[in-house]
Structure 1
Amino acid sequence: MIKKNISLALILFLGVMSVFSQNEKTSFSTQGRERLLMDFGWRFALGHATDYTKDFTTGTSYFTYFAKTGYGDGVAAAQFKDSTWREVDLPHDWAVELPFSGDASHSHGYKTIGYKYPETSVGWYRKKFTVPASDMGRKISIQFDGVHRNATVWVNGFYVGNEPSGYATSVYDITDYLNYGGENTVAVRVDASIEEGWYYEGAGIYRHVWLNKTDRLHVAQFGTFVTTELTGNNAELTVRTKVQNQHDKSSVFTIEQSLLDANNQQVLSKKLENVSLNGNVDNTYFQKIKVEKPTLWSLENPYLYKLKTNIITDGKIVDSYTTNVGIRTVRFDPNQGFFLNGKSVKIVGTNMHQDHAGVGTAIPDALQEFRIKKLKEMGNNGIRTSHNPSTPEMLDACDRLGMLVLDENRLMGINQEHFDLMERFMVRDRNHPSVVLWSVGNEEWAIESNEKGARITKTMQEFAQKIDSSRAFTVAISGGWENGSGKTTQVMGYNYIVQGNIDEHHKNFPWQSGIGTEESNTIGTRGVYVDDKANGRMAASNRMPENVGTESGWKFYAARPFLSGLFFWTGFDYRGEANPLLWPAVNSQFGIVDLCGFPKDIFYYLKSWWGKQPVMHIMPHWNWKGCEGKNIKVTIYSNAEEVELVLNKKSLGKKTMEKNGHLEWEVAYQPGTLVAKGFVNGKPTVSEQVETTGAPAKVALLADRSQLNADGEDVAVITVQLNDLKNRWVPTANKEVVFTLSGPGKIIGVGNGDPASHAPEQFVATASNPTPQWKRETFNGLAQIIVKTTKQAGEITLIASSEGMTSSTLKLTTTTSVLRPTTEIIKK
């Protein structure tokens, strides 16, 4: 039975990341839990998808790794020589390095990868690491947070498993395959020949890899689950702890739960003592913990506690596991929408794919945070992970920054493989306070509008509720709302208001909450105001022929309290799906910001009505040489009550702003200064101006931050801007800029947001070109550089120059910080 009112008075939770302070790790390093980052010092080479002789002959021996245990051959053999292979650090996406071709996959951005390109669709990774002799007797596993796709893994020649999905976290027990006190080799074959999604997905080990070590008596991987109930000003946590006893005999132990505040000060502690568990058995234990006057997790104050779970036996801590906890409640009401901590909140969100300019899908953690902050700038409070589970670090950033998440499953179905994928992703993510709603699927056109869809959705929800009953479930549905999945999903996910009558559906299904899982955005190219479709660029326009775009979509949802909110398609531009265009366009243009995160004009419409600060934005720029005397449509996005437009100190009149609307003027162009002045209660509150600039004369560099961690992982996002002699940004300047970098850092990618650019975003060192030149043409006056640190402290110097222009120098400081524990890098 589906309840008439889906009320989730709960929760949260996790980052099931066993992250320890140096003191914690040292106190039980020989027996307790260690989580070692394995991102550094991998070797990489392309193999071949169809020719085994070009795929290093792996799997061709008399006894294959399927025939005999430990008989991995070719690359999988420990003795294989990889010294000539390229050294890479993770995350790594080799697809972004490949050239474009008009014959390649439209949906995946015309990159030369896939079944047509067997020579570039298989990648091999190898890494050597040591395991000390003192680790004998512990349980050791290797964890891949995401490999795209069809990843086969060997350790010391032993085949340990295969994961077809590019989005699943996979954990393999390698305890019995290791050389203790010696060298070990992990080899991974990645085959991206077959596409899993219909958008750019990258290729390679594009998320983190970990080596996990525990005592044989330990908390299971992702083994805690915390839910919360609130009564008045107090909370009661229900803690479920799955403990595994992998000794061959029974163990008696204590489970100690300690709640720490944001300053790592203990709030309370509770023990479950004299617990007995037979050998080679696991069990889940329940504990209730009362918290007086907790600080609640909210969008304005995303407060995180930590729950430290200790397993104690014979007076000694043998395992310590940390879970991030956000205490909060969520509720979806069919008539009043979404509630967070009992307060009505309209979810104003965007859909997100997982690629970025320069780096593809291999997004460093700090860049995840940069992307979320960019969306928060316009008042965005929600992200839908379309159409797959995200990397855990993206959810961690949402927890820290205060962003709601609709967490989406990749594949709909009711067989063991479907259930296994869904369970792994939900168990991994269910402790994140940011996650407020699960999606079991998206636009499954073969089933969404018929009885099979209704049955499959119902079966999946019933299975998933056994994993997490604290949240509701939805399906994103593009049509046939009343005949298929829309009949059985708990929260109705509407994809586009043009697909049906939402008011009628709500009337016919009064028990069902509703949310806009996708809505049309104003599609177009940043800074382009005249269509140039032959060259892959479009002026901003409504996406649908029914004249539905950002403004009409937002007005529709804003006017209906029963709708919990909406997610526009999309927050960022993304590679592939360049619809409605074809080659030479290679990127989508659905984004509110472009592939780099540079705002399009529509960004400021949403900032006006989603945000809380005064906003004034003028569209377009004012560089229209040759158009003197011709009318140009000027659009104003603002939340001021009235706006006055002034050209060269002459008023063009004042207009009243409609709520959730915009203003337009037809202005005869003349060079100079165009000013928009905003008034509230008759008083000036905000203004903006655009000017006719001179020719580009200077390169300017601006970093999102100037101080970085010298940990080999941190990144800075650098904006490259072309200015005229008066230091005014030139919004029509497209000139090549060359970059040089010195100091403890490296450039890992460049971009400019041009949806039709075929220029390289990465420059790979080769034997003939060991120091490749980094360069990028600006697009409408802007480009972006992503700089990554090394593990050395010091000063990074970045110089940007362009022919005939004044160059610019930017300095970044890297400081020594506490490094995440990593595996030793072995070089031969």
Structure 2
Amino acid sequence: MILKKKNGNWFVLRVILIGITLNFFSLVFGQNSNRKSLPRTVFNINSDWHFIKNEIKSLDKINLNSNDWQPIKLPHNWGFQEAQKGNKEYYKGVGWYKKLLDINFKKNKRYFLRFGAASKVANVYINNKHVGAHRGSFGAFGFEITKYLSDTEPNIVVVSVDNSKFTDIAPLGGDFNVYGGLYRSVFLIETAKVSFALTDHVSKGVTWLQSEVSDEKALLEVIGWISNGTSNGLPFTHFPKEIGETIQEGRYLYRVKLLDHQDKEVAAKEIYINISPNLTAPYTLTLELQNPHLWHGTKDPYLYKAVAEVREPNGELVDRVTQNIGLRSFYIDAEKGFFLNDKPYRLRGVSKHQDRKDIGWAVSKEHLEEDIDLIKEMGANALRCAHYQHSDDLVDLCDKAGILVWSEIPLVGSMNEDKAFAETTKNQLKDMIRQQINHPSVFAWGLFNEIHVKKNDPHRMLMDLKLLANAEDKTRPTIAATSHMAAPEINKIPNILGWNRYPGWYDPFEHLKNAKQWNKYKNTSKDGGFCFSEHGAGANIKHHEQNPEQPVPKSFWHPEEWQAKVHEAAWESYSSTPYIWGSFVWNMFDFASVKREEGGVIALNDKGLVTFNRKTKKDAFYFYKANWSNTPMVHITSKRHDIRNEVETPIKIYTNLSKVTCYVNDSLIGEIEPNAYHIAIFKDVELVKGENKIIAIASGENQELKDEVIWVYDPNHNSIKPKEDKQVKRIHGDGGFGQ
């Protein structure tokens, strides 16, 4: 009868029916004000913090209103000032940070804090309530803070950070300093009530596993961890047909896509999903791309833009996560070495620590960019991030530069086999893998460095770490660095192995003269083949010797010329051995080590190819540049040996051009071709008293490059080299300090 009413009444009836329908949908689908949400917003909150150094460990005993709090900006750390001066008692204790959160609190949103790192133990409080804690100095961490926030009162975040020694937190050893502080950036993140998970070891919430990659096809298993932070949700059956062409189960749309460098969509897939209330669950899509453009290291570091979205069934965007990914495959052949995308690709690597002179660990992105630029200039294609998880910013830069990354946890030298230590170490491994798993540059997960068997048997714990890493990521091998054969079973726990050896420094230089001797390491790894995870020698840029002999490592004398000689011989030996799939120079940069007093300086490991302040490139840097880089170059060595007391001298030149012509005081000395390792030496060149102008002109490939230097010959000049050194030479293999 109602349907036969007049038009006016029929309009009223239609309005009533629509209203009833909308209310029903609102109840069923949860389409209320909480569902009207935009993509997440990320706020950098590094500014306007206050800091106080105070041993008090309880928030209720700290005076937040004290005038002793100093204004600071993050990143911030302490301890490096004293440690650089050689003070072994640099502050290890508690520091407090506080900040007023400038936040426009919305009840239909969720809020998270993400800390780039805090060393070593951090406790976070919002409005005097404990939110959570994190143990470990190097991984990022974070918490949801929504329920702690006020929409009427100011919101205060307080963080206590403690870098005391804890028996359950690695590292327990190592030749590097462990500072304290909030030394990486902090972010406040606002999302809709439904979002990709942000609290799973603060991962991206989306994992792009490359299950198959070739020139013809790439298959990606994309796992989205989606969190429903509402109480809205129901055991749902079907959408009405009006929402889509077919009846689909679920309440949201999960969609992933790849965009090329022109932001053109090249692959996409989507499914409808059902998310129960107050739950985080994984949803998996398999994405296929035909004829992919592969990421091929420094030769072609091509990156796609990977996008994962949660949308309403009507298409309204709820959350989006975007990141760069590169598609690549790699493997190691025990006889032939490393292969990237089925092509031979020897890893020419360096290692680095994260500290800087007069800055400590609180390095900026600009500092990291400078480091990567120096590594690229030298021609390296691989980086060992020693001896702990490095920052997101650094690995991002490696993705873009095509530099392969060995990432590792800080299990260095010593370990504590109790349950608490094992649990904390596992969590550090999860931090690293879940936060870095999508980076194409990362090729291996490092489990330990130079572990030594003492009272207890570490095999069970190390095997647990290996199995955990393999379970977390089936696409990458585990790796470790060792320095001894005392416990060969430990060396075979990781999938692949690196050896820390120092021929020419802690070991005799003669070891570099016969490449066949590396056969003894060939079968020490689980899968065969190995790399040199560390090798090198110290060098003080103020120490020079015309015909250097192998120095005593712990002594005063560390001539720059000896370091260059060691690296020349090492590269010749390693590069001529196919099953040595890579080598990593120790170290790219000088770094702080409060334990050391050698090489004419205190508290510094001077094995870097570049000085601690990044201002001076040592001769060995230019040797590798000549051998590894395609950029034409020429470099006269021993430039800083500018006052000489011998009338005859060799002139050694590095160049990757085809010939070198040398002049002294405008007189032609000769023209020669560099050897296979890009070294040209003019022997027994006679100097005159006073200034001597040395000019080297390298030519080839329709170009010419010039380098020059002034040397002063003074027969009465006395070298600063000690006449006698009574310190005992140490042999490497002592759990880290030998590095």
Same fold flag (TM > 0.5): yes
Match of 1:503 in 2: 519
Structure 1 CA distance for aligned equivalents of residues 565 and 693 of structure 2: 33
Contact 1:124/1:188 (CA < 8 Å) preserved in 2?
yes
- What residue ranges of structure 2 are gaps of 5+ in the alignment? 1-34, 235-250, 512-516, 713-739
Structure 2 CA distance for aligned equivalents of residues 660 and 534 of structure 1: 30
SS in 2 for 1:322: strand
SS in 1 for 2:468: helix
Match of 1:253 in 2: 252
TM-superposed CA distance for 1:218, in Å, is: 1.6
SS in 2 for 1:238: strand
Deviation digits for residues 174-205 of structure 1 (CA, Å, limit 9, x no counterpart): 22211124311111222223384531333211
1:569 counterpart = 2:586 = yes
Match of 1:215 in 2: 192
Match of 2:213 in 1: 230
Q: Which amino acid is the alignment partner of residue 89 of structure 1? A: K
SS in 1 for 2:154: strand
TM-score (norm 2): 0.77
Contact 2:654/2:679 (CA < 8 Å) preserved in 1?
yes
Match of 1:484 in 2: 489
Q: Which amino acid is the alignment partner of residue 479 of structure 2? A: T
Match of 1:779 in 2: none
Residue pairs, 1:381-530, within 5 angstroms: 381-411=381-411, 415-446=422-453, 452-480=457-485, 483-496=488-501, 498=503, 502-507=518-523, 511-520=527-536, 522-529=537-544
Structure 1 CA distance for aligned equivalents of residues 80 and 527 of structure 2: 46
TM-superposed CA distance for 1:510, in Å, is: 8.2
SS in 2 for 1:182: coil
Deviates more, 1:579-588 or 1:251-260: 579-588
Deviation digits for residues 453-512 of structure 1 (CA, Å, limit 9, x no counterpart): 554433321111111011111110111177132223211111116589531332576832
Match of 2:70 in 1: 86
Contact 1:490/1:513 (CA < 8 Å) preserved in 2?
no
Structure 2 CA distance for aligned equivalents of residues 558 and 394 of structure 1: 27
Question: Structure 2 vs 1, CA of residues 473 and 657 (structure 1 numbering), >3 Å: closer, same or farther?
Answer: same
Match of 1:46 in 2: 53
Match of 2:113 in 1: 142
1:184 counterpart = 2:155 = yes
Q: Which amino acid is the alignment partner of residue 622 of structure 2? A: Y
SS in 2 for 1:484: helix
Instruction: Decide which of 176, 180, 186 is 1:203's aligned counterpart.
Output: 180
Match of 2:304 in 1: 305
Residue pairs, 1:631-710, within 5 angstroms: 631-660=648-677, 662-664=679-681, 665-670=683-688, 671-678=691-698, 685-691=704-710
Q: Which amino acid is the alignment partner of residue 147 of structure 2? A: D
Structure 2 CA distance for aligned equivalents of residues 232 and 643 of structure 1: 42
Q: Which amino acid is the alignment partner of residue 113 of structure 2? A: I
TM-superposed CA distance for 1:652, in Å, is: 3.2
Structure 2 CA distance for aligned equivalents of residues 485 and 548 of structure 1: 33
TM-score (norm 1): 0.69
Residue pairs, 1:509-588, within 5 angstroms: 511-520=527-536, 522-529=537-544, 538-540=558-560, 542=562, 549-576=566-593, 579=596, 581=598, 584-588=601-605
SS in 2 for 1:557: helix
SS in 2 for 1:159: strand
Match of 1:750 in 2: none
Contact 1:47/1:123 (CA < 8 Å) preserved in 2?
yes
Q: Which amino acid is the alignment partner of residue 73 of structure 1? A: D
Aligned length: 623
TM-superposed CA distance for 1:245, in Å, is: 2.2
TM-superposed CA distance for 1:314, in Å, is: 4.7
Structure 2 CA distance for aligned equivalents of residues 512 and 646 of structure 1: 49
Structure 2 CA distance for aligned equivalents of residues 613 and 689 of structure 1: 19
Q: Which amino acid is the alignment partner of residue 78 of structure 2? A: W
Instruction: Decide which of 12, 36, 60 is 1:73's aligned counterpart.
Output: 60
Deviates more, 1:284-293 or 1:364-373: 284-293
Question: Structure 2 vs 1, CA of residues 523 and 320 (structure 1 numbering), >3 Å: closer, same or farther?
Answer: same
Match of 2:20 in 1: none
Q: Which amino acid is the alignment partner of residue 65 of structure 2? A: K
SS in 2 for 1:658: coil
Deviation digits for residues 5-62 of structure 1 (CA, Å, limit 9, x no counterpart): xxxxxxxxxxxxxxxxxxxxxxx995542222111110112223xxxxxx4xx63xxx
Question: Structure 2 vs 1, CA of residues 100 and 555 (structure 1 numbering), >3 Å: closer, same or farther?
Answer: closer
Match of 2:242 in 1: none
1:359 counterpart = 2:342 = no
Structure 2 CA distance for aligned equivalents of residues 587 and 476 of structure 1: 22
Contact 2:544/2:561 (CA < 8 Å) preserved in 1?
no
Q: Between Structure 1 and Structure 2, which shows a larger proportion of helix residues?
A: 2
Contact 2:233/2:275 (CA < 8 Å) preserved in 1?
yes
Instruction: Decide which of 610, 618, 625 is 1:600's aligned counterpart.
Output: 618
Structure 2 CA distance for aligned equivalents of residues 451 and 549 of structure 1: 37
Structure 1 CA distance for aligned equivalents of residues 465 and 528 of structure 2: 17
Contact 1:497/1:553 (CA < 8 Å) preserved in 2?
no
SS in 2 for 1:586: strand
**C-alpha RMSD over aligned residues:** 3.2
TM-superposed CA distance for 1:655, in Å, is: 4.6
Question: Structure 2 vs 1, CA of residues 123 and 152 (structure 1 numbering), >3 Å: closer, same or farther?
Answer: same
Contact 1:215/1:318 (CA < 8 Å) preserved in 2?
yes
TM-superposed CA distance for 1:83, in Å, is: 5.4
Specify the structure having the higher radius of gyration (Cα).
2
Q: What percentage of aligned pairs have identical amino acids?
A: 23
Match of 1:331 in 2: 331
TM-superposed CA distance for 1:443, in Å, is: 0.8
Question: Structure 2 vs 1, CA of residues 98 and 454 (structure 1 numbering), >3 Å: closer, same or farther?
Answer: closer
Q: Which amino acid is the alignment partner of residue 311 of structure 1? A: V
SS in 1 for 2:378: coil
Q: Which amino acid is the alignment partner of residue 555 of structure 1? A: E
TM-superposed CA distance for 1:667, in Å, is: 3.5
1:318 counterpart = 2:301 = no
Contact 1:351/1:385 (CA < 8 Å) preserved in 2?
yes
Instruction: Decide which of 277, 286, 289 is 2:287's aligned counterpart.
Output: 289
Instruction: Decide which of 36, 40, 58 is 1:33's aligned counterpart.
Output: 40
Match of 2:631 in 1: 613
Q: Which amino acid is the alignment partner of residue 175 of structure 2? A: W
Deviates more, 1:553-562 or 1:296-305: 296-305
SS in 2 for 1:523: coil
Structure 2 CA distance for aligned equivalents of residues 537 and 40 of structure 1: 45
TM-superposed CA distance for 1:88, in Å, is: 1.2
SS in 1 for 2:559: coil
Contact 2:538/2:607 (CA < 8 Å) preserved in 1?
yes
Question: Structure 2 vs 1, CA of residues 281 and 655 (structure 1 numbering), >3 Å: closer, same or farther?
Answer: same
SS in 2 for 1:308: strand
Contact 1:334/1:513 (CA < 8 Å) preserved in 2?
yes
Structure 2 CA distance for aligned equivalents of residues 684 and 287 of structure 1: 53
Deviation digits for residues 686-736 of structure 1 (CA, Å, limit 9, x no counterpart): 44221359xxxxxxxxxxxxxxxxxxxxxxxxxxxxxxxxxxxxxxxxxxx
TM-superposed CA distance for 1:601, in Å, is: 1.0
Question: Structure 2 vs 1, CA of residues 558 and 250 (structure 1 numbering), >3 Å: closer, same or farther?
Answer: same
Contact 1:403/1:434 (CA < 8 Å) preserved in 2?
yes
Q: Which amino acid is the alignment partner of residue 260 of structure 1? A: L
Q: Which amino acid is the alignment partner of residue 490 of structure 1? A: N
TM-superposed CA distance for 1:166, in Å, is: 1.1
Contact 1:482/1:505 (CA < 8 Å) preserved in 2?
no
SS in 2 for 1:73: helix
Structure 2 CA distance for aligned equivalents of residues 443 and 375 of structure 1: 25
- What residue ranges of structure 1 are gaps of 5+ in the alignment? 1-27, 49-54, 60-71, 106-111, 116-120, 694-828
Q: Which amino acid is the alignment partner of residue 185 of structure 2? A: H
Deviates more, 1:407-416 or 1:208-217: 407-416
